[in-house]
Amino acid sequence: MTQPVSRRAFAAPSVRALLAQAGAFPLTLIAVWLLARTGVPMSWESVALIQGAFAAVIAWRLGLAVWWRAIELAFPSGVLLARGFDLPPSLFLVLFVLFLLIYWSTFRTQVPYYPSGRAAREAVANVLPVDRPLAIADVGSGLGGLVLDLARRRPDSEVDGIELAPLPWFVSRLRGKLSGSRARFLRADYEAVNFGYYDVVFAYLSPAAMAGLWHKAEREMRPGSILLSYEFDIPGRMPDRRIVTTNSKKILFLWEF
């Protein structure tokens, strides 16, 4: 059954984050009034901290991820600090557009930009089957480092990077063109991509996305295919293998279908 528009809107973390700040505002007014009546000296910095603390608690109660709570806590103080520098409004517009291009879907998916790094690339390359060509996908491929590395190591295989945010997708595609790589970079939401096409799906997402990733993989991935997740486990689903990555205590989780 299709969810009502209001429920789908409330499910977006950005909407709940905004509601957290809005809900904290009357609580802050009451707290400041009570503190002022008792003779506690109040500054704008103190008011900003109280507002941020209330917003962070509300964000926690609304089920937002830990980084959203940190943003809620720091946001009022950050606004106050920025006003003190008397920065030109155009700077905020430029920063907004830049962050929007990088973190295009974070407001909805709760998946911020996570670069996987060399340790993850080595671990993934070492667990890939070597007896046949593979179709490999990196969902949320960022700047394309892992995709380009796998395409170089496995010229017999198809390697796709799937990225929704415009700027990382553009940078990764440009890197592929400049290096002459056979890798493909698709600007798409991985939820709209059929996992059944791939022999291996790699993900470095966030704890908030893992349950949905598993349900999609369980529906679509073929027998004999492999799901890999770097650092983040899937609650209630025992992996078939845990690989400690080189020069790191982070784990690569592997599930076989």
Residue 113 has pLDDT above 70, yes or no: no
Question: Does residue 221 share a domain with residue 168?
Answer: yes
pLDDT per residue as tens digits for the range 181-237: 999 999 998 989 999 999 999 999 877 788 889 999 999 999 999 999 998 899 889
Does 104 map to a domain?
Answer: no
Question: Does residue 154 share a domain with residue 199?
Answer: yes
pLDDT class of 112 with cuts at 50, 70, 90: low
Higher pLDDT, 115 or 228: 228
CATH number of domain containing 217: 3.40.50.150
Question: Does residue 171 share a domain with residue 220?
Answer: yes
CA distances from 224 to 59, 251, 255, 256 (A): 41, 22, 10, 7
Q: Residue 180 — left, alpha, or beta (φ > 0 → left; ψ -120 to 50 → alpha)?
A: left
Residue 38 has pLDDT above 80, yes or no: yes
Whose tokens are 């209001």? That residue is 6
Question: Does residue 142 share a domain with residue 53?
Answer: no
pLDDT more than 70, % of the chain? 82
pLDDT per residue as tens digits for the range 139-179: 989 889 999 999 999 999 999 999 988 888 899 999 999 99
Question: Does residue 245 share a domain with residue 182?
Answer: yes
Could you tell me the residue range of the domain that residue 214 belongs to?
117-256
Domain count, the chain: 2
Question: Does residue 132 share a domain with residue 79?
Answer: no
Q: What is residue 239's predicted lDDT score, i.e. its pLDDT? A: 94
Question: Does residue 137 share a domain with residue 19?
Answer: no
Q: What is residue 221's predicted lDDT score, i.e. its pLDDT? A: 96
Question: Given the DSSP bridges, would you call strands 226-230 and 200-203 parallel, antiparallel or unpaired?
Answer: parallel
pLDDT class of 10 with cuts at 50, 70, 90: low
Concatenating the DSSP letter of every residue in the chain gives: -PPPHHHHHHHSHHHHHHHHHHHHHHHHHHHHHHHHHTT----HHHHHHHHHHHHHHHHHHTT--HHHHHHHHHHHHHHHHHHHHT--HHHHHHHHHHHHHHSTTHHHH-------HHHHHHHHHHHS--SS--EEEEET-TTSHHHHHHHHH-TTSEEEEEE-SHHHHHHHHHHHHHHT---EEEES-GGGS-GGG-SEEEE---GGGHHHHHHHHHHHPPTT-EEEEES---TT---SEEEEPTTS--EEEEEE-
Q: What is residue 22's predicted lDDT score, i.e. its pLDDT? A: 92
Question: Does residue 124 share a domain with residue 169?
Answer: yes
Question: Does residue 129 share a domain with residue 78?
Answer: no
Region 71-80: mean pLDDT is: 87
**Backbone Cα Rg of the chain:** 22
Question: Does residue 163 share a domain with residue 65?
Answer: no
Contact 158, 128 (CB under 8 A): no
Region 40-55: mean pLDDT is: 90
Q: What is residue 67's predicted lDDT score, i.e. its pLDDT? A: 74
pLDDT class of 17 with cuts at 50, 70, 90: confident
Contact 247, 119 (CB under 8 A): yes
Q: What is residue 145's predicted lDDT score, i.e. its pLDDT? A: 93
Which of 172, 173, 160, 163 is closest to 105 using CA atoms? 163
Does 41 map to a domain?
Answer: yes
Question: Does residue 46 share a domain with residue 129?
Answer: no
Question: Does residue 60 share a domain with residue 19?
Answer: yes
Q: What is residue 197's predicted lDDT score, i.e. its pLDDT? A: 96
Residue 93 has pLDDT above 70, yes or no: no
Count how many residues are written for the chain.
Answer: 257
